[in-house]
Amino acid sequence: MTSGPATTVLARPQRRDIALLRVVAIVGVVAIHVSGLVVTADALKEKPVWWLAHVLNSGSRFCVPLFVMVSGALLLRPSRPETAREFFRRRLDRLVPALVVWYLVYILFTWAVIGTERSVGEVLALVLAGRTYTALYFFWLILGLYLATPALRKLLAGLDGPRLLAVGLLLTGLAVADNTTKAFVHRFSDVDTTATPTALTYWIPYVGYFVLGAALSHGPVARQVAPWAGGALAVTTTLSVLETTGRTPASLGWLAPVDYFGPLVALATVALFLLGASLLHPVTEPSTGDRVVGTLGGLTLGVFAVHLIVLYGLQRVVVDQGVVPRSVPALVVLLAGTVTLSFAVAWVLSRVPGLRRLV
């Protein structure tokens, strides 16, 4: 969900896979939020809509790590040399206003539309915890990675492909191992292993994914990788769905929790990244399809920013008897409508002077 303008996402057409992966990732984000209320609805358990919701929810957990890998591929391997000042001017000039404005929008939304009243202290605390509204922590995550990028570029400069890959795997492995350890401790003791990240720390566990994205973009990926990557993606996604629906041994819940730093999700994310890189080889001139996907990829920050408000509205228009879809058609329509309308709103905002820097 990098914040470059839509008109320049194909400035390096040889990375057409990046634009598509950004679109896939944002659709995954929307799928998780659309399906969230269904997977927790006891009245719908074991019904077809419940199963579809689990497939969408568990099968899309790659979304945030994939965004981070894509950002690493773009930011840690720049197309031209630039100083830290140049980097910050280009990136923060867009991200910081977007962060401030969208946090204000959701503060007003929760007060004026949802009717939640909070003190100034509560509002500030939730902003710093990234909990003002669902998933807004992502702004802090990306901001932290942006601020760390110039230093990471210097630290990683001179590393060849294998060494860069080793660093990415080590850092990602540490985050995954720590996550699994916490799940084990929580399962077999009364120790509270939960720790709420803040605006200052959200980005830290994701550095491994960030570096891994750059490492796996260090050179072309052979097409022969595609079947292996596709198979790994299918297996890890299937296991994730089976785990969250209670079809696997209980031990898998702490060995491989289905979250952004679970082993299954980490493997699925890397597999999807490699699948895109291996199938979408570099091109000299982008096709019409590449341009369309590139435009959509450039709108992903805007889609992220607006889709929660769009979803809130559509839940009250599309869904009968409340806000939880109770049938497969209702869930499909809600997902398709939220994705389509969010892209449309983001596209309109990108065409309005003064607002385009927010998307």
The DSSP code sequence of 251-292 is THHHHS-SSTTSHHHHHHHHHHHHHHHHHS---SS--HHHHH
Q: Give the percent of the chain with pLDDT over 90.
A: 77
Task: Tell me what pLDDT residue 340 has.
Answer: 98
Q: What count of Cα atoms within 13 Å lies in the side-chain half-sphere of residue 10?
A: 21
Domain map (residue ranges) of the chain: 6-358
Task: Determine which helix (DSSP H) or strand (DSSP E) holds 207, and give its type and residue range.
Answer: helix 207-215
CB contact at 8 A, 248 and 242? yes
CB contact at 8 A, 94 and 235? no
301-329 per-position pLDDT tens digit: 999 999 999 999 999 888 876 789 999 99
Tokens matching residue 330: 């209702």
227-269 per-position pLDDT tens digit: 999 999 999 999 999 999 999 998 888 889 999 999 999 999 9
Task: Tell me what pLDDT residue 196 has.
Answer: 83
Tokens matching residue 233: 């993606």
Euclidean distance between CA atoms 71 and 54, whole angstroms: 27
Tokens matching residue 34: 């659309």
